[in-house]
Amino acid sequence: MILYGQQNISEQDIEAVSKVLTSSHLTQGNVGIAFEKKLSQICHAPYALAYCNATAALHASCLALGVNNQDIVWTSPISFVASANCALYCGATIDFVDIDSQSANMSVHALKNKLAIADRENKLPKVLIVVHMAGQSCDMAAIYQLTQQYDIKVIEDASHAIGGSYHNHPIGSCNYSDITIFSFHPVKIITTGEGGAALTQSGDLAKKLALYRSHGITREPELMTNKDEGPWYYQQIALGYNYRMTDIQAALGLSQLERLSYFIQRRNVLAKQYDKAFSNTQFQALTQMNGSTSSYHLYVIKNANWSQDQKVSLFNKMREKGIQVHVHYIPIHLQPYYQELGFALGDFPKAELYYQQALTLPMHTKLTNEQQQYIIRTLLDLG
Protein backbone atom coordinates (compact mmCIF):
# COMPACT_ATOMS: atom_id res chain seq x y z
CA MET A 1 0.00 0.00 0.00
CA ILE A 2 1.30 3.47 -0.92
CA LEU A 3 0.48 5.44 2.22
CA TYR A 4 -0.99 8.94 2.10
CA GLY A 5 1.58 10.06 4.69
CA GLN A 6 4.66 8.44 6.18
CA GLN A 7 7.58 9.33 8.43
CA ASN A 8 11.12 9.49 7.04
CA ILE A 9 13.52 8.01 9.61
CA SER A 10 17.28 8.00 9.03
CA GLU A 11 20.18 6.26 10.76
CA GLN A 12 21.04 9.65 12.24
CA ASP A 13 17.56 9.79 13.79
CA ILE A 14 17.95 6.33 15.29
CA GLU A 15 21.37 7.17 16.70
CA ALA A 16 20.02 10.38 18.27
CA VAL A 17 17.21 8.50 20.02
CA SER A 18 19.54 5.68 21.09
CA LYS A 19 21.90 8.22 22.64
CA VAL A 20 19.13 9.53 24.85
CA LEU A 21 18.03 6.01 25.80
CA THR A 22 21.49 5.36 27.24
CA SER A 23 21.73 8.75 28.95
CA SER A 24 20.76 9.81 32.46
CA HIS A 25 17.60 11.71 31.41
CA LEU A 26 14.76 10.34 29.30
CA THR A 27 12.68 13.43 30.02
CA GLN A 28 13.16 16.99 31.32
CA GLY A 29 16.79 16.98 30.25
CA ASN A 30 18.94 19.11 27.97
CA VAL A 31 17.81 17.54 24.69
CA GLY A 32 14.33 19.00 25.03
CA ILE A 33 15.86 22.43 25.64
CA ALA A 34 18.08 22.02 22.56
CA PHE A 35 15.07 21.06 20.43
CA GLU A 36 13.18 24.16 21.56
CA LYS A 37 16.20 26.36 20.85
CA LYS A 38 16.52 24.95 17.34
CA LEU A 39 12.81 25.51 16.64
CA SER A 40 13.17 29.07 17.85
CA GLN A 41 16.12 29.70 15.53
CA ILE A 42 14.50 28.15 12.47
CA CYS A 43 11.21 30.00 12.93
CA HIS A 44 12.67 33.34 14.08
CA ALA A 45 10.49 33.32 17.19
CA PRO A 46 12.10 34.16 20.56
CA TYR A 47 10.22 31.45 22.47
CA ALA A 48 9.45 27.83 21.56
CA LEU A 49 7.90 25.32 23.95
CA ALA A 50 7.63 21.63 23.10
CA TYR A 51 4.52 19.61 24.02
CA CYS A 52 3.47 15.98 24.04
CA ASN A 53 1.21 16.71 21.05
CA ALA A 54 -0.27 19.63 19.13
CA THR A 55 -3.68 19.25 20.78
CA ALA A 56 -2.08 19.86 24.17
CA ALA A 57 -0.27 22.89 22.74
CA LEU A 58 -3.56 24.27 21.40
CA HIS A 59 -5.25 23.76 24.76
CA ALA A 60 -2.41 25.40 26.67
CA SER A 61 -2.43 28.31 24.21
CA CYS A 62 -6.11 28.97 24.80
CA LEU A 63 -5.46 28.89 28.55
CA ALA A 64 -2.47 31.22 28.21
CA LEU A 65 -4.67 33.70 26.34
CA GLY A 66 -7.22 33.57 29.14
CA VAL A 67 -10.00 31.71 27.33
CA ASN A 68 -12.78 30.67 29.72
CA ASN A 69 -16.49 29.88 29.82
CA GLN A 70 -17.41 33.51 29.18
CA ASP A 71 -15.61 33.61 25.84
CA ILE A 72 -16.16 32.79 22.19
CA VAL A 73 -13.51 31.26 19.93
CA TRP A 74 -13.69 31.01 16.14
CA THR A 75 -11.83 28.62 13.86
CA SER A 76 -12.10 26.96 10.44
CA PRO A 77 -14.60 24.15 9.78
CA ILE A 78 -12.05 22.45 7.51
CA SER A 79 -9.54 21.07 9.98
CA PHE A 80 -9.08 18.21 12.39
CA VAL A 81 -11.46 18.46 15.36
CA ALA A 82 -8.63 19.45 17.74
CA SER A 83 -8.67 22.98 16.28
CA ALA A 84 -12.11 23.47 17.79
CA ASN A 85 -12.00 21.07 20.74
CA CYS A 86 -9.24 23.07 22.43
CA ALA A 87 -11.65 25.97 23.02
CA LEU A 88 -14.33 23.65 24.40
CA TYR A 89 -11.80 22.25 26.89
CA CYS A 90 -11.69 25.78 28.36
CA GLY A 91 -15.49 26.01 28.55
CA ALA A 92 -15.68 28.52 25.70
CA THR A 93 -18.31 28.72 22.97
CA ILE A 94 -17.01 27.67 19.55
CA ASP A 95 -18.00 28.99 16.13
CA PHE A 96 -16.58 28.78 12.63
CA VAL A 97 -15.65 31.01 9.70
CA ASP A 98 -16.25 29.59 6.24
CA ILE A 99 -13.37 28.87 3.89
CA ASP A 100 -12.12 30.21 0.60
CA SER A 101 -13.18 27.64 -2.00
CA GLN A 102 -9.90 27.71 -3.92
CA SER A 103 -7.37 27.42 -1.06
CA ALA A 104 -9.48 25.71 1.66
CA ASN A 105 -8.06 28.26 4.11
CA MET A 106 -10.20 30.65 6.14
CA SER A 107 -11.86 33.22 3.90
CA VAL A 108 -10.81 36.78 4.73
CA HIS A 109 -14.04 38.03 3.14
CA ALA A 110 -16.17 35.72 5.29
CA LEU A 111 -14.18 36.72 8.37
CA LYS A 112 -14.66 40.43 7.69
CA ASN A 113 -18.42 40.04 7.30
CA LYS A 114 -18.81 37.79 10.33
CA LEU A 115 -16.79 40.18 12.52
CA ALA A 116 -18.96 43.12 11.50
CA ILE A 117 -22.12 41.20 12.45
CA ALA A 118 -20.60 39.94 15.71
CA ASP A 119 -19.55 43.48 16.63
CA ARG A 120 -23.10 44.74 16.20
CA GLU A 121 -24.45 41.84 18.27
CA ASN A 122 -21.74 42.13 20.93
CA LYS A 123 -20.63 38.56 20.21
CA LEU A 124 -17.03 39.05 19.13
CA PRO A 125 -14.61 36.19 19.71
CA LYS A 126 -11.77 36.49 22.19
CA VAL A 127 -9.51 34.28 20.06
CA LEU A 128 -9.36 33.37 16.39
CA ILE A 129 -7.65 30.06 15.53
CA VAL A 130 -6.62 30.09 11.87
CA VAL A 131 -5.65 26.81 10.21
CA HIS A 132 -2.93 26.62 7.55
CA MET A 133 -4.63 23.92 5.55
CA ALA A 134 -2.36 21.38 3.81
CA GLY A 135 0.71 23.46 4.67
CA GLN A 136 -0.13 26.80 3.05
CA SER A 137 -0.36 29.86 5.26
CA CYS A 138 -3.61 31.76 5.50
CA ASP A 139 -3.45 35.41 4.44
CA MET A 140 -2.15 36.43 7.84
CA ALA A 141 -1.53 40.12 7.14
CA ALA A 142 -5.17 40.65 6.15
CA ILE A 143 -6.43 38.53 9.05
CA TYR A 144 -4.17 40.34 11.53
CA GLN A 145 -5.44 43.72 10.35
CA LEU A 146 -9.03 42.65 10.99
CA THR A 147 -8.33 41.09 14.40
CA GLN A 148 -6.38 44.15 15.54
CA GLN A 149 -9.39 46.30 14.70
CA TYR A 150 -11.51 44.27 17.13
CA ASP A 151 -8.79 43.43 19.70
CA ILE A 152 -8.93 39.68 19.04
CA LYS A 153 -6.03 37.35 19.84
CA VAL A 154 -4.78 35.02 17.09
CA ILE A 155 -3.48 31.45 17.23
CA GLU A 156 -2.02 29.98 14.06
CA ASP A 157 -2.78 26.28 13.91
CA ALA A 158 0.21 25.49 11.73
CA SER A 159 0.10 21.78 12.46
CA HIS A 160 0.59 21.19 8.72
CA ALA A 161 3.02 23.96 8.04
CA ILE A 162 6.46 23.88 9.68
CA GLY A 163 9.05 24.78 7.05
CA GLY A 164 6.64 26.91 5.05
CA SER A 165 6.84 30.67 4.71
CA TYR A 166 4.62 33.73 4.38
CA HIS A 167 5.82 37.13 3.10
CA ASN A 168 9.43 35.92 3.31
CA HIS A 169 9.10 35.00 6.99
CA PRO A 170 9.07 31.44 8.33
CA ILE A 171 5.70 30.17 9.49
CA GLY A 172 6.07 30.18 13.26
CA SER A 173 7.64 33.64 13.51
CA CYS A 174 4.33 34.96 14.94
CA ASN A 175 4.63 38.26 13.07
CA TYR A 176 0.84 38.26 12.63
CA SER A 177 -0.27 36.19 15.61
CA ASP A 178 0.14 35.71 19.33
CA ILE A 179 1.00 31.99 19.21
CA THR A 180 1.78 29.45 16.49
CA ILE A 181 1.24 25.71 16.93
CA PHE A 182 3.09 22.89 15.17
CA SER A 183 2.37 19.15 15.09
CA PHE A 184 5.03 16.45 14.88
CA HIS A 185 2.77 13.44 14.30
CA PRO A 186 4.42 10.83 12.02
CA VAL A 187 2.51 11.95 8.91
CA LYS A 188 3.54 15.59 9.38
CA ILE A 189 6.61 17.36 7.95
CA ILE A 190 8.94 16.28 10.76
CA THR A 191 8.08 13.85 13.51
CA THR A 192 8.81 13.26 17.16
CA GLY A 193 6.55 10.19 17.22
CA GLU A 194 3.79 12.22 18.79
CA GLY A 195 4.51 15.81 19.68
CA GLY A 196 3.81 19.47 19.17
CA ALA A 197 5.10 22.95 19.94
CA ALA A 198 3.89 26.45 20.69
CA LEU A 199 5.92 29.47 19.55
CA THR A 200 5.47 33.09 20.54
CA GLN A 201 7.17 36.48 20.59
CA SER A 202 5.77 37.25 24.05
CA GLY A 203 7.79 36.47 27.14
CA ASP A 204 4.66 36.71 29.27
CA LEU A 205 2.82 34.18 27.10
CA ALA A 206 5.86 31.90 27.13
CA LYS A 207 5.79 31.81 30.94
CA LYS A 208 2.10 30.93 30.91
CA LEU A 209 2.59 28.27 28.24
CA ALA A 210 5.33 26.71 30.35
CA LEU A 211 3.13 26.87 33.44
CA TYR A 212 0.14 25.12 31.86
CA ARG A 213 2.42 22.52 30.29
CA SER A 214 3.71 21.28 33.65
CA HIS A 215 0.97 21.07 36.30
CA GLY A 216 0.82 24.83 36.89
CA ILE A 217 4.08 24.54 38.82
CA THR A 218 6.83 27.16 38.86
CA ARG A 219 10.28 27.43 40.39
CA GLU A 220 10.69 31.07 39.37
CA PRO A 221 10.74 33.28 42.51
CA GLU A 222 9.12 36.23 40.74
CA LEU A 223 6.04 34.11 40.00
CA MET A 224 5.65 32.68 43.50
CA THR A 225 3.14 34.04 45.97
CA ASN A 226 4.92 32.79 49.10
CA LYS A 227 8.50 33.17 50.29
CA ASP A 228 11.05 30.81 48.72
CA GLU A 229 11.84 28.13 51.30
CA GLY A 230 14.99 26.70 49.71
CA PRO A 231 16.60 25.31 46.52
CA TRP A 232 14.08 22.45 46.41
CA TYR A 233 11.08 24.75 46.58
CA TYR A 234 8.32 25.04 43.97
CA GLN A 235 4.76 26.27 43.95
CA GLN A 236 1.65 25.33 42.06
CA ILE A 237 0.09 28.65 41.12
CA ALA A 238 -2.36 27.45 38.44
CA LEU A 239 -4.23 24.31 37.44
CA GLY A 240 -1.93 22.93 34.78
CA TYR A 241 -1.47 19.64 32.96
CA ASN A 242 1.26 17.11 32.23
CA TYR A 243 1.79 18.12 28.61
CA ARG A 244 5.58 17.82 28.48
CA MET A 245 7.54 16.27 25.62
CA THR A 246 10.10 13.61 26.53
CA ASP A 247 13.79 13.88 25.62
CA ILE A 248 13.34 10.72 23.55
CA GLN A 249 10.83 12.55 21.35
CA ALA A 250 12.90 15.73 21.35
CA ALA A 251 16.01 13.85 20.19
CA LEU A 252 14.12 12.53 17.17
CA GLY A 253 12.73 15.99 16.44
CA LEU A 254 16.13 17.68 16.78
CA SER A 255 17.63 15.22 14.32
CA GLN A 256 14.68 15.59 11.93
CA LEU A 257 15.07 19.38 11.89
CA GLU A 258 18.47 18.90 10.24
CA ARG A 259 16.59 17.67 7.14
CA LEU A 260 13.67 20.12 7.25
CA SER A 261 14.84 22.03 4.16
CA TYR A 262 15.17 18.80 2.19
CA PHE A 263 11.72 17.63 3.32
CA ILE A 264 10.12 20.90 2.13
CA GLN A 265 12.05 20.87 -1.14
CA ARG A 266 11.05 17.28 -1.90
CA ARG A 267 7.39 17.87 -1.08
CA ASN A 268 7.33 20.90 -3.38
CA VAL A 269 8.90 18.87 -6.20
CA LEU A 270 6.21 16.21 -5.77
CA ALA A 271 3.49 18.86 -5.70
CA LYS A 272 4.74 20.42 -8.94
CA GLN A 273 4.71 17.00 -10.59
CA TYR A 274 1.11 16.48 -9.47
CA ASP A 275 0.22 19.99 -10.65
CA LYS A 276 1.64 19.31 -14.10
CA ALA A 277 -0.10 15.96 -14.42
CA PHE A 278 -3.54 17.33 -13.54
CA SER A 279 -3.28 20.77 -15.19
CA ASN A 280 -5.67 20.02 -18.07
CA THR A 281 -7.90 17.45 -16.42
CA GLN A 282 -11.10 17.42 -14.39
CA PHE A 283 -8.99 17.54 -11.22
CA GLN A 284 -8.14 20.85 -9.58
CA ALA A 285 -5.41 21.41 -7.00
CA LEU A 286 -5.74 23.87 -4.14
CA THR A 287 -4.52 27.30 -5.23
CA GLN A 288 -1.28 28.67 -3.81
CA MET A 289 -0.92 32.26 -2.65
CA ASN A 290 1.78 34.50 -4.11
CA GLY A 291 4.49 35.35 -1.61
CA SER A 292 4.18 32.10 0.32
CA THR A 293 5.78 28.66 0.30
CA SER A 294 3.67 25.69 1.26
CA SER A 295 5.16 22.83 3.23
CA TYR A 296 2.72 20.53 1.40
CA HIS A 297 1.77 18.32 4.31
CA LEU A 298 -1.16 17.26 2.08
CA TYR A 299 -1.87 17.29 -1.62
CA VAL A 300 -5.59 17.73 -2.18
CA ILE A 301 -7.39 17.56 -5.50
CA LYS A 302 -10.99 18.56 -6.18
CA ASN A 303 -13.48 17.44 -8.79
CA ALA A 304 -16.51 19.68 -9.12
CA ASN A 305 -18.43 17.02 -11.04
CA TRP A 306 -18.27 14.18 -8.50
CA SER A 307 -21.45 12.77 -7.06
CA GLN A 308 -21.19 11.16 -3.64
CA ASP A 309 -21.42 7.70 -5.20
CA GLN A 310 -18.72 8.50 -7.76
CA LYS A 311 -16.33 9.75 -5.08
CA VAL A 312 -16.90 6.70 -2.89
CA SER A 313 -16.41 4.39 -5.89
CA LEU A 314 -13.14 6.10 -6.89
CA PHE A 315 -11.92 6.09 -3.28
CA ASN A 316 -12.49 2.35 -2.98
CA LYS A 317 -10.98 1.55 -6.38
CA MET A 318 -7.84 3.57 -5.62
CA ARG A 319 -7.37 1.69 -2.37
CA GLU A 320 -7.94 -1.62 -4.16
CA LYS A 321 -5.07 -0.59 -6.42
CA GLY A 322 -2.83 -0.15 -3.37
CA ILE A 323 -3.08 3.64 -3.11
CA GLN A 324 -4.15 5.03 0.26
CA VAL A 325 -6.14 8.07 -0.78
CA HIS A 326 -7.85 9.94 2.05
CA VAL A 327 -10.20 12.87 2.68
CA HIS A 328 -9.13 15.94 4.67
CA TYR A 329 -11.45 16.92 6.26
CA ILE A 330 -15.03 16.19 7.20
CA PRO A 331 -16.27 19.67 8.22
CA ILE A 332 -16.10 19.87 12.00
CA HIS A 333 -19.58 21.35 12.31
CA LEU A 334 -21.04 18.21 10.70
CA GLN A 335 -19.67 15.91 13.37
CA PRO A 336 -22.47 14.53 15.60
CA TYR A 337 -20.97 16.09 18.74
CA TYR A 338 -20.98 19.55 17.14
CA GLN A 339 -24.46 19.10 15.73
CA GLU A 340 -25.59 18.49 19.29
CA LEU A 341 -24.16 21.95 20.04
CA GLY A 342 -26.52 23.41 17.43
CA PHE A 343 -24.58 23.34 14.17
CA ALA A 344 -26.30 21.97 11.09
CA LEU A 345 -25.85 21.15 7.42
CA GLY A 346 -25.91 24.40 5.46
CA ASP A 347 -24.18 26.53 8.10
CA PHE A 348 -20.90 26.78 6.17
CA PRO A 349 -21.70 26.00 2.54
CA LYS A 350 -18.24 26.46 1.05
CA ALA A 351 -16.71 24.07 3.57
CA GLU A 352 -19.46 21.55 2.82
CA LEU A 353 -18.95 21.88 -0.96
CA TYR A 354 -15.20 21.46 -0.53
CA TYR A 355 -15.80 18.24 1.40
CA GLN A 356 -17.93 16.84 -1.43
CA GLN A 357 -15.24 17.60 -4.01
CA ALA A 358 -11.95 16.88 -2.19
CA LEU A 359 -9.65 13.85 -2.23
CA THR A 360 -6.18 13.62 -0.66
CA LEU A 361 -3.41 11.90 -2.62
CA PRO A 362 -0.25 10.38 -1.10
CA MET A 363 2.34 13.06 -0.27
CA HIS A 364 5.48 12.32 1.73
CA THR A 365 9.23 12.26 1.27
CA LYS A 366 9.41 8.46 1.02
CA LEU A 367 7.18 8.60 -2.06
CA THR A 368 9.23 7.69 -5.15
CA ASN A 369 8.79 9.20 -8.61
CA GLU A 370 7.72 5.78 -9.86
CA GLN A 371 5.06 5.48 -7.17
CA GLN A 372 3.81 8.97 -7.92
CA GLN A 373 3.50 8.22 -11.64
CA TYR A 374 1.55 5.08 -10.78
CA ILE A 375 -0.81 7.17 -8.61
CA ILE A 376 -1.30 9.69 -11.41
CA ARG A 377 -1.95 7.04 -14.10
CA THR A 378 -4.34 5.13 -11.87
CA LEU A 379 -6.32 8.22 -10.93
CA LEU A 380 -6.62 9.43 -14.53
CA ASP A 381 -7.66 5.95 -15.69
CA LEU A 382 -10.29 5.56 -12.96
CA GLY A 383 -11.39 9.18 -12.58
Domain finish residue from 216, 233, 257: 257
Using the predicted structure, report yes or no on whether residue 230 has a pLDDT greater than 90: no
pTM above 0.95, yes or no: yes
pLDDT of 296: 98
326 and 360 Cβ atoms separated by less than 8 Å: yes
Task: Give Cα separations from 220 to 39, 205, 211, 225, 279 (angstroms).
Answer: 23, 15, 10, 10, 57
Using the predicted structure, report yes or no on whether residue 98 has a pLDDT greater than 90: yes
Structural domain of residue 378, as residue ranges?
260-382
- Phi-psi domain of 234 (left: phi exceeds 0; alpha: psi -120 through 50; beta: other): beta
- The verdict on 275 and 341 lying in the same domain is yes
What is the CATH number for 309?
Answer: 3.90.1150.10
pLDDT of 31: 98
pLDDT of 336: 98
User: What would the mean pLDDT of 151-163 be, rounded to a whole number?
Assistant: 98
**If pLDDT is split at 50, 70 and 90, which confidence band does 205 have?**
very high
User: What would the mean pLDDT of 130-137 be, rounded to a whole number?
Assistant: 98
pLDDT of 70: 98
HSE at residue 116, side-chain half, CA atoms within 13 A, is 6
68 and 90 Cβ atoms separated by less than 8 Å: yes
254 and 70 Cβ atoms separated by less than 8 Å: no
- The verdict on 281 and 359 lying in the same domain is yes
User: What would the mean pLDDT of 18-24 be, rounded to a whole number?
Assistant: 96
Q: For residue 10, which amino acid is it? A: S
Q: Return the SS3 of 289.
A: coil
- The verdict on 246 and 326 lying in the same domain is no
- The verdict on 156 and 304 lying in the same domain is no
User: What would the mean pLDDT of 348-375 be, rounded to a whole number?
Assistant: 98
pLDDT of 220: 87
Any domain includes 2: no
188 and 194 Cβ atoms separated by less than 8 Å: no
User: What would the mean pLDDT of 343-359 be, rounded to a whole number?
Assistant: 98
- The verdict on 243 and 268 lying in the same domain is no
User: What would the mean pLDDT of 22-28 be, rounded to a whole number?
Assistant: 94
Any domain includes 44: yes
Any domain includes 4: no
d(CA 140, CA 108): 9
- The verdict on 125 and 190 lying in the same domain is yes
- The verdict on 330 and 241 lying in the same domain is no
- The verdict on 198 and 340 lying in the same domain is no
Domain finish residue from 229, 257, 285: 257
Q: Return the SS3 of 313.
A: helix
Any domain includes 6: no
- The verdict on 229 and 282 lying in the same domain is no
Percentage of residues in the chain having pLDDT higher than 70:
100
d(CA 18, CA 236): 34
Q: For residue 168, which amino acid is it? A: N
pLDDT of 75: 99
- The verdict on 88 and 189 lying in the same domain is yes
d(CA 153, CA 355): 28
**If pLDDT is split at 50, 70 and 90, which confidence band does 56 have?**
very high
Give the count of domains, the chain: 2
Any domain includes 374: yes
Any domain includes 136: yes
- The verdict on 232 and 292 lying in the same domain is no
- The verdict on 210 and 82 lying in the same domain is yes
Residue closest to 96 by CA, chosen among 363, 378, 329:
329
> What values do phi and psi take at 107, rounded to 5?
-80, 125
pLDDT of 231: 87
Residue 95, C-beta contacts closer than 8 angstroms, at least 6 positions apart:
72, 73, 74, 125
Any domain includes 3: no
What is the CATH number for 26?
Answer: 3.40.640.10
**If pLDDT is split at 50, 70 and 90, which confidence band does 227 have?**
confident
**Model pLDDT for residues 287-303, shown as the tens digit of each residue:** 999 989 999 999 999 99
